[in-house]
Structure 1
Amino acid sequence: MRTFAKIALIVGLTATGYYVYTGLTGTDEFAWLNGWLIAPVLLLTVVPILFSLSAFRRSFGESMAALRGDVPAEFAGAPIGMGTVVSTARTGLSINDQPQLDIVLDVDTPEGRGFRAVARHLVDLTELGAVQPGAVLPVRYLPDGRVVLAVDAPAYELQAALDRIQLAKGHITPKQLHIAENGLDAQAVVLAMNPTGEVRAGRAVIVLTLRVTRPDGTRFDVTQEKTVPPGALGQVQPGAVVRAKYLPYDESEVTLLVNP
C-alpha cells in the first residue's frame, strides 16, 4: 500500500551530479539547481557547498517517499520545477482511507520563473507530515500553470532541474555547477569556521578553512567564504568531516556535500 516514489535530489545533498536547496553554498554567487542537489547534484558564493542528491532526498526526502501515484498523460515529459508547500486542504475525497489533498505550492522553474499552483494528490494519513508547509517537492508543470507532483521522475532529471533552478536563482555560478558535475570526490575536515555577522538571503555568511584529502591521500588547505542555511551550520563546525568535490586542475574552489 505504501510503495513510495523516491527522489534522488537534491534544494545535489547531498547528493552526485550537482548537490541541493537545498544547502551550504559558496558565495560566488553553493546556492539545485545542488543541485542541489545536491548534488549533486547541491553550494553558493566565493566557493560553493553543494547538496548531493542524497542530501536533497534526506532534507525533504521523506516528503516524496510518502507520495506515490501516476502522472496524468498530459504531464508526461513536462519540465520539472521545485515547489515549496504553502498550505494543504482536503478535497473531501478519500480512497482506501487516503485523503485527497489540494497542495498549494510556490514553484520555481529552471528558467528562473516563479508562480503559485495547486497540486491535487492522494496522501496516506500516516504521511501527512510529508506535505507540511515548508516542504519542498518536485513537480511537473504545464505552460498554463497546472502542476502535478513529479512522482515519476528519475533521479538524474530531478537533479538536473534542481541544479538549473539554483543557477537561475543566482545561488550558484556556472563554474560551481561544473565542479559539482565534473569534480573529483574527496573528503574535507573543517579546520575553522568564523561567522562574519552578515546575513544574506536568509543565510549566514561564514568563512571556512578546510583541509581537503585528495583521492591519492595528499592534502591541501583552502579558505572560502560561504553562505550557509541555518540548518546546515551544525555540519560545518571545526572538526567536522564532510564530503567534497573539486577540480584537479583548480583547487581554489571546493564544494561540500552536506544535508540542507
Structure 2
Amino acid sequence: MLLALVIGVCFGGVAVIVLLDNPNLTWVAPAAASVAIPLVILWRVGKSLGGVRQPSAEQVRQRLDANGGALARVDSVRRTGTTVNDRHLCELTLTVDPPGEDAYATSTRMLIDPIELATFQPGRVLTVARIKPGHPDVWIVRQPDAAWQNKMSTDGPYIPAAEHVRHQPSDPATAVAGLGGRQLISSGPKGRGLRIAAYLVLAIAGAAIIVVPNASEFQAVVEYGDAADDFVFGPRQTEAVDALVAEVGSTEFVSLTFHDGFVTADAVSAPGAVTIDSFMFRWGSADRTGPATIQPEDPAEAIFDVTVLDASIIPALAEQARQLTGVAEPTSYLVIVDRDATFGSSELSIQISLNDDYYSGHVIFDAVGDVISMWGDVPGSPAAGE
C-alpha cells in the first residue's frame, strides 16, 4: 500500500513538471524511486517468504478436529528458492478429496527438511486439515493417526486425477487467520477488488500531496492554456502583484518586472524600511530571493505605492506596443514598472520592450496607459519615426 502512495506522489510530481513546467519538483521522481525500489525489494522478499510461518502440530490438530480432514495427493512439488534453517520452502500442488464433497485442486506452502523430500514427492497421498470450512486452504498433517493412515492406504488410490477436478486457488489471508494473524485487506482472489480500490485511493492521495498545493496553477492552465504563465500578454498580472504584496508585507515597491514565465520585484525589506529586497512570483507563489543587487541612493524618490498601478492593463499595452514598434512576433519581451527619472519624469512609468530575431522596439506609457515616448528600428513602424 505504501508503494501505491509513493507511485501516486511520483505521478503527481511528473504532472506538475510536465504541465506546469515547474522544475522545482524534479526531486520527486528520484526521491520516490529511492523509496519505491526498497519497497519493491521488500515486497518481493515478502512474497518469496509466503508460507515461512508454519502452523504448530497443535494448531494442525485443532483444525483437523474442528473442520475435518481430507486425503490429498501431491501432484507437484516446487522449491521456491527460500531456505530457513536448512529447510526448503516448497510449494505443493495438491488434489484434495474431502469426504462428501467434490475433489478440487489447490496449493500450499510448507518448509520441508531434505530428509523429508521423499514423503512429499508427486503421487504420494497425505492427510490434510481444512483451515476454514468452505475454503480450499489446507495444512498438511505430518504425523496422522492410525485411522487416517489407514484411509491413506485404502482410499488414496481413488482420488480423482487433477485434470478432472476444478482448481481453487489458495487464499493467503485464510492461512494468516488460521495462524492467529489478520490481514487488513485479503491478499487472495476474494480481496482483489477491495485491494485494487485501496491501491487507487492511495495512489490518488499520493498524487494529491503534490498536486493540491499547485491547484491554482493547474486551474490557470485549464482556464488560460499557454497564456497561464505569460505575465506580459497573459491575464494574470494582478494575481502576481497581489501575491508579491502579501509576501513583501507592504505596498512600497521600487520596481516590478513582468516576464514570460515569472514576475520579479524590488520592494522594501520590511514595512517602513529603506533597505530593498528582491522578490519573485513564479509557479503560483511569491518568494523573497534576498537583498536587491542595487540599493537606491534615495529610496524616497524610488519607492512608489503599487496600489496606484492597475496591472490588468498590461496585456492591452503590450498589444499596443506590438503595433507601435512593428515587432509583431516578439521572441523576447518584458515590462518594467518603476519611477525611472532617466526618461525625463519621476512619475510611475510602464516600459515595454519587444525583440525578435532582427528588430527591437520600446514604448513607455504612464500609469494610466498613455504613451510617453517610443522608439524602434522596424522600418515603417510608428516607433521608428518614419
TM bucket by the smaller chain? 0.3 to 0.5
Please tell me whether Structure 1 or Structure 2 has the larger radius of gyration of its CA atoms: 2
Where is the strand percentage greater, Structure 1 or Structure 2? 1
TM-score, with length taken from structure 1: 0.33
If asked which structure has higher relative contact order (CA below 8 Å, sep 6+), I would say 1
